[in-house]
Structure 1
Amino acid sequence: MQAVHPCVTSACMCEQPCYRTGLPTADSVIGAGIGGSAVTYFLQQQFGPQVQIDVYEADRVGGRLATLTVNSQQYECGSPSIHSLNLHMQDFVKLVGLKHRKEVVGKSAIFNGEHLVLEETDWYLLNLFRLWWHYGISFLRLQMWVEEVMEKFMRVYKYQAQEYAFSTIEGLLRSLGGDHFVNMTQRSVGESLQGIGVQQRFIDDVISAVMKASYGQSVSIPALVGAMSLAGAQGNMWSVEGGNKLVCSGLLKLTKANVIHARVTAVSIHNTEKKHLYEVQYEQEGTLGSDYYDLVIVAAPLHKAGYPISFLNLQPLPEPMGSYHRVVSSIVHGYLNSSYFGFTDPKLFPFASILSVDTPDAIFHSLESLCPVNVSVGFRRKPPQEAAVWRVLSQRPLDRKELKTLFKSYYSVQVIEWQAFPSYATAGSSKPLPPIILHDGLYYLSGAEWAASSVEMIAVAAKNVALLAFNRWFEINEKIDQQDLLHKLKTEL
């Protein structure tokens, strides 16, 4: 998927400049994924509806929240589900008049390349017994660790409700969980779980499979990233009826944002008598153009192999953290080869998804039976012996032999290669997280992905950037980078 870049932009139509005593006359957001559409909404909430916002999008609205069509029905091919603790996304769905998709239950299993090492059943107590039998109390230690991390992460919604903002990602994390949260971006999830007494076998069998299915990477990814992923693996997930991407288009429509389908090539700084202006240069259908803005929000990844934006006369230049990790999503309409997983009779295959343990010869990360984005009241998953639509996540496109291994036969295969997530191995444990403020009115939203790459994190980062831009514009310094904020709010209440 091509990277998406958000700038908060609206062209200034007046001849006299507006200074900090008034509203910005033009804002630009580069990118119309969840980060760009969310920050557009939050900016309008802060600055008011009179501030028009231009949103530049080189590809499609929704970014990594994408669907594709199989047999006249749409299926999620990007981020398939959203965690119930994501309060911003919950609010967005209500705001734009959407609703949750009907849940279609399905069991999961973990495959090590030879046999299933863990199988989910319909009975909760039996599932717990199997976990205890194989891994002792490791799963309880894991659950307590994830719950503690998520409980601290939820503090951010209280801070943002009171319009507090942070000028660095480290500052935001520190406000939630102290230095421990910052350290979780520098220590691997594998090391962190070992430190709380989780068995290595449990990490090798279960945690590695979840990390591969979520990010296509190993348990060496940062602990905070892993905790976010494991929170989703424990359930409480939901999707939007009609497709998750409708949240993005709905927010842009709600804010009456001016969506410009163009590729941003450069951002440059122009100094006037009393303020900075930012020129956004773009290419649209072979034609070059540019506009001037008071604020520019970059909601697209700035990395070596990604979408190139030149920052002219900006010193120092933002340093790329590293590359983004490629994940291949193959949407296959066909008959699953259940015998590969040990079920010679396909009617007896009970699983809706299979996760693969992280092994060198694994041909897939995860295999999931998809439901359409529009689920009718009486909808049921296809019986395992019938053709269904499956999503296969893998490191590279599956060749014909691998497809034949996983499927007895198939009608169609659609392949999407995503620059989906940061490649955390390229960042380095001691490297600081990307800056949020690139210049006085130039902000970088997507750098938050290097702390944790999830819809929740990007939505939180979007509101933080909007609050930060507002507070800095009107010099409300008491709302920026406050120390011991949790204690301060408790005292005020």
Structure 2
Amino acid sequence: MALLLLLTAHFIWLCSGHQGAPDLPGRIAVVGAGVGGSAVTYFLQQQFGPQVQIDVFEADRVGGRLATLTVNNQQYESGSLSIHSLNLHMQDFVKLLGLRHRREVAGKSAIYSGDQLVLEETDWYLLNLFRLWWHYGISFLRLQMWVEEVMEKFMRVYKYQAHEYAFSSIEELLRSLGGEHFVNMTQKSVAESLLGIGVSQRFIDDVIGAVMRASYGQTVAIPALVGAMSLAGAQGNMWAVEGGNKLVCSGLLKLTKANVIHARVTAVSLHKSGKRPLYEVRYDQDGTLGSEYYDLVIVATPLHKGGYPISFLNFQPPIQEPTAPYHRVVSSIVHGYLNSSYFGFTDPKLFPFSSILSTDSPDSFFHGLENLCPVNISVGFRRKPPHEAAVWRVLSSRPLDRRELKTIFKSYYSVQVIEWQAFPSYGATGSSRSLPPIVLHDGLYYLSGVELAAASVEMSAVAAKNVALLAFNRWFELTEKIDQPDLLHKLKTEL
């Protein structure tokens, strides 16, 4: 399809009176090497071809939120633990790179209110359904139908992208999937949306609130679209990459032979305006300042006050940088013995859960607790029971003090604390805040703004594909492939 578009662009170029093949961008800069940055690098090469040089600037580590750390000589996920089976781009990346799905290790979950377990999962599916019905009526069925409807509409994006259609704004992308309703879901809270379809307040407080805290460290005031994406993952069908999810990012950059520059970008300035503007990317590499010139620049790292600020110079009118704050998430990786009696099990051998989600209550000082498996799982691997020393991940809004650690764990060998601004502070967005633009200038694109609509691994991959298609279509003036109305009907007619 990309080859067909290149031939189409060549034909348009000749018909407009130009001689020779249409010019390709000479150099492209991608700022950020997380999921979005590595994916857009791959998709840009798919569109423009391998002859275009792509430089990827990364101030920290390749992988972004996909990261691992070492405990007792084994690697564990410290960032995003798993990926949903409906994430088609991530599935394609794994196949393309020759990676494998990690072997699944079964485990049960429970929800803790700060003084007792309010919901416990069992090994029996029908019993789980009965408990949900007994506690919450048909709220869980209404929730499931709502999530399935949202995900069914979201899946349309893969068909659009397979036919090379792109969208110049997040609103246009959402509108193509679910009309104004999808756009409104970025402004309305998940609690309000679920109450509107008859989900009980108790179910929202106990279950939805616990999932939102474990996923984003935030409350049910989180936007409905963000909540739906998170709840889709909470319903199961999750997988992870053998060897670590971050291998997708490093693998894509290696596959494309991108030039990875470990430096912090400090500014992007407009060097030359006109039909083909030129951009100067300035960076700091271990205290040494440098700069390079590019035809296209993709910013695939959040532009927010708490991160690495990037100045945009010489643009008229000036580029208004997004100012949405990001929410701090603290992940404590603890190697030790769980204090099962804190959760009501005096005999640790009887504690059956591999993860505990916490409701939003004054007594809950953590968001979630999970028994981690290493990123490389052998055939005979078993999840360690609580009476043995295991590796646990504790999510919280701040670092846990010694008293809190001793509350959850009888004893521990090590604690590694990771603090990062992982997600937008959705409660601070408010109903009047608009979504950030994708197109900052003619050849300057902002990929990570999609996180304000929904932050997930796959949302970043979808946004990466959209930006690559948008940059390509705008470069060759293929306007019929941008922001097409009623696209679902159009594709059905064409097919």
Does the TM-score normalized on the shorter chain lie above 0.5? yes
Q: For residue 249 of structure 1, what is the aligned residue in structure 2?
A: 250
TM-score (norm 2): 0.95
Equivalents in 1 of 2:77, 2:366: separation in Å?
A: 18
Q: Pairwise mapping of residues 144-183 of structure 1 onto structure 2 (< 5 A)?
A: 144-183=145-184
Equivalents in 2 of 1:318, 1:238: separation in Å?
A: 38
Equivalents in 2 of 1:160, 1:345: separation in Å?
A: 53
Equivalents in 1 of 2:284, 2:186: separation in Å?
A: 36
Contact kept? 1:354, 1:367, Cα under 8 Å = yes
TM-score (norm 1): 0.95
Q: Aligned letter for 2:168?
A: S
Q: Pairwise mapping of residues 118-267 of structure 1 onto structure 2 (< 5 A)?
A: 118-267=119-268
Report how far residue 52 of structure 1 moved.
1.4
Equivalents in 1 of 2:430, 2:274: separation in Å?
A: 42
- Equivalent residues, number: 476
Q: For residue 75 of structure 1, what is the aligned residue in structure 2?
A: 76
Equivalents in 2 of 1:303, 1:364: separation in Å?
A: 26
Q: Which of 393, 403, 406 is residue 405 of structure 2 equivalent to? A: 403
Q: Which of 414, 417, 420 is residue 418 of structure 1 equivalent to? A: 420
Equivalents in 2 of 1:172, 1:121: separation in Å?
A: 40
Contact kept? 1:19, 1:275, Cα under 8 Å = no
Contact kept? 1:23, 1:51, Cα under 8 Å = yes
User: Secondary structure in 2 aligned to 1:471?
Assistant: helix
Pair 1:276 & 2:283 matched? no
Runs (5+) with no aligned partner, structure 1: 1-17
What's the % identity of the aligned pairs? Answer: 83
Most deviating of 311-320 and 391-400: 311-320
Structure 1 residues 19 and 268, CA, compared in 2 at 3 Å: closer, same or farther?
farther
Equivalents in 2 of 1:43, 1:49: separation in Å?
A: 9
User: Secondary structure in 1 aligned to 2:391?
Assistant: strand
Equivalents in 2 of 1:19, 1:28: separation in Å?
A: 26
Report how far residue 20 of structure 1 moved.
9.5
Structure 1 residues 362 and 273, CA, compared in 2 at 3 Å: closer, same or farther?
closer
Contact kept? 1:355, 1:366, Cα under 8 Å = yes
Q: For residue 344 of structure 1, what is the aligned residue in structure 2?
A: 346
Q: Which of 330, 333, 342 is residue 331 of structure 1 equivalent to? A: 333
Equivalents in 2 of 1:43, 1:408: separation in Å?
A: 51
**RMSD (CA atoms):** 1.2
Q: Which of 321, 324, 331 is residue 322 of structure 1 equivalent to? A: 324
Equivalents in 2 of 1:156, 1:316: separation in Å?
A: 32
Pair 1:391 & 2:404 matched? no
User: Secondary structure in 1 aligned to 2:303?
Assistant: coil
Contact kept? 1:20, 1:474, Cα under 8 Å = no
Structure 1 residues 357 and 19, CA, compared in 2 at 3 Å: closer, same or farther?
farther
Contact kept? 1:366, 1:393, Cα under 8 Å = yes
Q: For residue 11 of structure 2, what is the aligned residue in structure 1?
A: none
Q: Pairwise mapping of residues 423-434 of structure 1 onto structure 2 (< 5 A)?
A: 423-434=425-436
Contact kept? 2:115, 2:363, Cα under 8 Å = no
Structure 1 residues 270 and 371, CA, compared in 2 at 3 Å: closer, same or farther?
same
Runs (5+) with no aligned partner, structure 2: 1-18
Partner deviation per Cα, 1:96-148 (whole Å, 9 max, x = no partner) = 11110000010000000010000000000000000000000000000000000
Q: Aligned letter for 1:434?
A: P
Q: For residue 94 of structure 2, what is the aligned residue in structure 1?
A: 93
Contact kept? 1:33, 1:64, Cα under 8 Å = yes
Equivalents in 1 of 2:273, 2:225: separation in Å?
A: 42
Most deviating of 264-273 and 387-396: 264-273
Q: For residue 6 of structure 1, what is the aligned residue in structure 2?
A: none
Report how far residue 19 of structure 1 moved.
11
